[in-house]
Structure 1
Amino acid sequence: MQNKEICEEKSVNEKNLEVFNRYFPGCLSIENDNQLTLDVGRLKALLGDFSEIKEEGYGLDFVGKKIALNQAFKKNHKILKPLNESTSKHILIKGDNLDALKILKQSYSEKIKMIYIDPPYNTKNENFIYGDDFSQSNEEVLKTLDYSKEKLDYIKNLFGSKCHSGWLSFMYPRLLLARDLLKQDGVIFISIDDNEAAQLKLLCDEIFDGNFLSSLTWLKGNAQNDAQYFQNNYENILVYAKHVEALSLNRMTSKKEVKVFCENDKYYYEGAGLSMGGGDGGNLENRPNLGYTFYYNSMTKDIKPIMDYDKEDAKKHTDIYKDNIELIEKGYVPIRPPKMGVGNGRWKWALEKSLTELDRILIKKSKNGYSVLRKEWVDKNQVKQNENGEFYAILDKSSPARNVIENIGGGNGTKEVNDLFNQKIFNNPKPTKLISRLIELSTNEGDIILDFFAGSGTTAHAVLESNKSDYQKLSEGGG
């Protein structure tokens, strides 16, 4: 975003009315009292048949929800002014984050790939008090929301206390605006503790409308031997997508040492087994063509995959196989998928694939007979040899991210900040490695990241570290 003043933008309500009138002309009118009136009959006629307008249903309701919604859509009269001239692509905004989000929406609507926030937790140890601006004239608020003066005063007093309604009313407009800033394939991470986790999930379920991804568990450590009932050793990180269908998260990579074997001048390590695990997916009755037999000769190491049962019988929970006596008399042993409960098991590969890639089949003696594994080929240049003459390789392994984050202690964040400032400035800042993990999972080069509860600046620190790491990889020719 360019460093320039932004003013006189249309409110969200005004923009929504323009869109509504464009597609549903004649459904809205302004009556004598200058209030908008919706012609429900005309709207239903334009839309066609649908159920009656929903008035009640499952969801989260709280005192002040209408005012909080009004805060998100109320026209913003603030401007953004640069404190100094800068060519940096990074922007640090000082001020009320509700105002900042409204300003950002003008230039960054649907352009943010990843949002991370660590909002106040609304606990007895937090100094959180709901402080949004109610300077909009009382008459305007009463007129807009149809509240009595007594109810409005009650709500305003409620927001000054540490209660669920006050905290939710603080979060609601900010999360609504945050969703508008996310790209179609964007994602938001929200740190929270148990005190508001349940309420926050209901709120986000409404705002992000079925695009919940996960509740990550961050095992932050911090032993608390003086806890009354349970030690609080973890925090939640709620994860929502703008649109699940458009989202693509990065797989997490790690280094893994594997033992390597040499065969006919080709190198491999032992991969996963070919038999399916438990559950309905592992039963032969669901995939009746995947229960063939590997006939194996332990002397010659010869392997013959053969279909030796009637596929129509595969749905029966009985012994369906017919041994190939000729092969057995020649020293071959029949190896079949392990049973799944009372049913027959199955392989992951079809018979045709096993025949085509027979050189990848590895059969090993096990305590229950034999196991069928697959060989994973390794480039010769990756293979090393230890002092015992054994081959090994260090490989990059990738997998979907786990919903448990370990080995990043909460105390690391405090130490990082204390080392920078030689004193304690922030309570419980998040460690840089935690945010870096989320950035690695959800972003790629050129993506824009937002944190509108900047606090100790951990997210900005993590972004700079990520950029530094990417630059080093490029300098070293790593991509």
Structure 2
Amino acid sequence: MQPNTAFLNELKNKLPEFFTKDGSFDLNKFKDQLKDKNVNELSEGYQLGFIGKDYARRQAGEMPSTVIVPDEKQNQGEGKDSKNLFFTGDNLEVLRHLQNNYQNKIDVIYIDPPYNTGSDGFVYPDSFEYSDDKLKEMFGLDDDQVERLKSIQGKASHSAWLTFMYPRLVLAKRLLTDAGVLFVSIDDNEDANLFELLESIFGEQNFVAQFIVTRSEGGGLAKQAITGHDYLLVYAKNINKFEPLGKPKDIRGKIVNKNGIEYWIETDWLRKEFGKYGTLAYEDIVSVKGQAKKNEIDKGLKIGKYVLIQKGAKHIVGRLRRVDEDTSKFYTITKHLNKDGVKDLRRLHLDQIFNYPKPVSLIKEFISGATIRNHESPIILDFFAGSSTTADAVMQLNAEDGGHRRFIMVQLPEKTYHTNKNGEEVPNKGGKVAYDAGFKSIDEISRERIRRAAKKIREDNELTLPENFDGSFKHYRVVKPVKQTLEEIDDFDPNNTNLFTDMVDGFSSKSLGIDGDATGEETILTTWLAKDGYSFDADVEEIKLDNYTAHKVEDNRLYLINEGWGANQTKELLNQLGTHQLEVQSVVIFGYSFNVAELRELENGLKQLDSKVTLIKRY
């Protein structure tokens, strides 16, 4: 009880629209309503406004301030040949990095973001990317306005949630192909706001549907009404290029021929005999006995026009078509129970770790619907990976239809514990099961789920699993350089004739305080490859220049990162370029590894070559 509690309760009864979910009074909203002229019909129009909107727009345009550290133990071990990717780090920073090498390349994005229920742990991160003075300069704010903007820190208000989501959705849209699609799971708390937010980013013409997902049974303790559903909002990048979500028509049985191609056949008898989704093996298909129509049907079977199903003495002939050529559209109500998500984790011995895991069946249904006409090589991104249900769904679909869908998972390394005053590790609320199982952070659980799911898929599909099934991933950590490295960068003078510090080592896994066994050179190279638009499986070749190791990428760029460059290396490089033993368009150097004399010699030598080779210096 506070001195003004009774007064606030009275206000809440009479003016409930001015109170936030946590029960605090929104004084600024109240002040706006008191203004004589609080409506501007000409300038405002219909739009979604929230504290932090201009700041969120700015965030969507920022460059990454982190480096990408490869997990060499994973990437050179079990994930060596995998095309799947897993990023541990802040998803906003990961999305910023991906703008360079995955823009317009992602086919499907599915996310299950915080629902902002007040009990899901969501609060706006406690820090802004800019100082107060910078905020004033960028947005023309005064002290009071800066304070109002910063009022969302550590809060779970609608404005805080929208400011958090806005830049991530803007960047997500840029990653999608023109025919790409975004799926977002949400509940009543932010459904209306999310709808308006997506309208403003994607445009109302690109709205596909809002699905109602029946998710629970029971709920008798609900205060007002039993809420047994969530929503799934779906937006296309470009509705004119987007193929409608599809599934094989319900009354057709699926048949797989000798070439592994799926077909359906439409017959009432087949539906009745085999059920709604009857499946027949090729061996079940028999030829007509006798001469009647035999030649015609044999020819039709040979060219794939007919398939013949025999039941006793009765023969039924139906037209043969590819599954992906004739599909039915999705109905906007679908059922996927919460308990099924729990069962999915239980079969992997990971149950009780997550409270509300999404069922694999939900994500499978919609990824399948979005990739039914192209399951060969689409890329599926989930930047709120959680327990990696999306990765599990992708692998299961590939096992079922022989597709080559690839996934990219992104998960923040949220700790399952905190350290108390005595320096002891104490499990967080809701994190005890995970901590006791040996998981120190959520991303560890996420990666382990992928491993266990892949193992289970292999066990369950031992005889039918495609030979090139991809059940692993490459792992990268996206982190900020440590303070000491940043200070050394600030203090660096490129005009010094001598180098006093090995700046490269500051970017190694060890120096950054993380696992992964990456050298500083590997971190810098990985970060630069992404920056320069190369995929994470780009062809990188080591080039020896005297005793110095450089890296050539796709006959295009040569990267010089480590220290140790001198006159002999310059001479060898110019010789190989001049004799066309080595052909690249540009040479990119880590400026901190080169003193001024070495740099000038290299720069002058490249200028004298007949073939134009650009020198790019990075600091």
Q: TM-score range by the shorter chain?
A: 0.5 to 0.7
CA displacement 1:338-372 (0-9 Å, x = unmatched): xxxxxxxxxxxxxxxxxxxxxxxxxxxxxxxxxxx
Matches within 5 A, 1:84-233: 84=72, 85=75, 86-131=80-125, 133-210=127-204, 211-233=206-228
1:394 positional shift: 12
Matched, 1:436 2:431: no
Partner of residue 333, structure 2: 404
AA aligned opposite 2:309: V
Q: Which amino acid aligns with 1:436?
A: K
8 Å CA contact retained: 2:305, 2:319:
no
Distance 1:270 1:167, change over 3 A: same
What is the Cα deviation at residue 149 of structure 1? 2.7
Deviation of residue 166 (structure 1)?
Answer: 0.6
Amino acid at match of 2:64: N
Equivalent of residue 64 in structure 1, options 43, 52, 63: 52
* Runs (5+) with no aligned partner, structure 1: 1-53, 259-266, 272-377
Match for residue 241 of structure 2? 246
Question: Partner amino acid for 2:366?
Answer: L
Q: How far has the Cα of 1:466 moved from its partner?
A: 1.5
Aligned-pair distance for 1:391?
A: 6.5
Alpha-carbon distance, 1:255 to partner: 5.2
Q: Which structure would you say has the larger Rg? A: 1
Change in CA separation of 1:178 and 1:269 when aligned onto 2, cut-off 3 Å: closer
Preserved contact between residue 114 and residue 182 of structure 1 (Cα < 8 Å): yes
Is the contact between residue 342 and residue 351 of structure 2 (CA under 8 Å) also seen in structure 1? no
Inter-CA distance 418–142: structure 2 relative to 1 (3 Å threshold) = farther
Call closer, same or farther: CA 1:105–1:380 in 2, change over 3 Å. Answer: closer
What's the CA shift string for 1:184-219, capped at 9, x where partnerless?
111000000011100100010000012111001111
Asked whether the equivalents of residues 114 and 442 of structure 1 are also in contact (C-alpha less than 8 Å), the reply is: yes
2:390 is equivalent to residue 459 of structure 1 = yes
Cα gap change, 1:69 to 1:132, in 2 (>3 Å): farther
State the Cα deviation string for residues 102-154 of structure 1 (Å, max 9, x = none): 00111000100100000000002211011174142222121001122332223
**Per the alignment, do residues 254 and 394 of structure 1 end up closer, same or farther by CA in structure 2, a change over 3 Å counting?**
farther
Which residue type is aligned with residue 144 of structure 1?
M
Task: Measure the CA separation in 2 of the matches of 1:453 and 1:217.
Answer: 21
Instruction: Supply the distance in 2 between the matched residues of 1:411 and 1:462 (Cα, whole angstroms).
Output: 17
Identify the residue that residue 419 of structure 1 maps to in structure 2.
Answer: 347
Are 1:448 and 2:443 matched, yes or no?
no
Deviations along 1:365-403, whole A, 9 cap, x unmatched?
xxxxxxxxxxxxx9874334369x796989977311111
2:307, 2:317 within 8 Å by CA — same for their partners in 1? no
- Per the alignment, in what secondary structure is the counterpart of residue 146 of structure 2? helix
Q: Deviations over 1:150-189 (max 9, x none)?
A: 3222322323222111111110010000011111111000
1:433 Cα deviation from its structure 2 partner: 1.0
Instruction: Measure, in 2, the Cα distance between the counterparts of 1:404 and 1:58.
Output: 29
TM-score by length of 1: 0.59
Alignment partner, residue 83 of structure 1: 71
Match of residue 308 from structure 2: 382
Shift of residue 66, structure 1, vs aligned partner: 0.8
Is this contact kept in 2: 1:257–1:393, CA < 8 A? no
SS at the partner of 2:234? strand
Q: What amino acid is aligned across from residue 164 of structure 1 in structure 2?
A: H
Q: Does 1:74 find its partner at 2:62?
A: yes
Conserved in 2, the CA contact under 8 Å of 1:159 and 1:167? no
In the superposition, the TM-score normalised over structure 2's length comes to: 0.46
SS of aligned partner of 2:177: strand
Q: How far apart are the structure 1 equivalents of 2:306 and 2:266?
A: 9
The residue matched to 2:84 in structure 1 has which SS? coil
- Aligned-pair CA distance for 1:426: 1.1
Distance 2:379 2:102 in 1: 9
Is the CA contact (8 Å cut-off) linking 1:256 and 1:394 kept in structure 2?
A: no
C-alpha distance in 1 between matches for 2:312 and 2:333: 34
- Measure the CA separation in 1 of the matches of 2:306 and 2:244: 31
Amino acid in structure 2 at the alignment position of 1:403: T
Q: In 2 relative to 1, CA 419–269 (structure 1 residues): closer, same or farther, beyond 3 Å? A: closer
Identity across matched positions, percent: 35
CA RMSD of aligned residues (A): 2.8
Secondary structure at the counterpart of residue 154 of structure 1: helix
Judging changes above 3 Å, is the alpha-carbon distance between structure 1 residues 434 and 138 closer, same or farther for their aligned structure 2 residues?
A: same
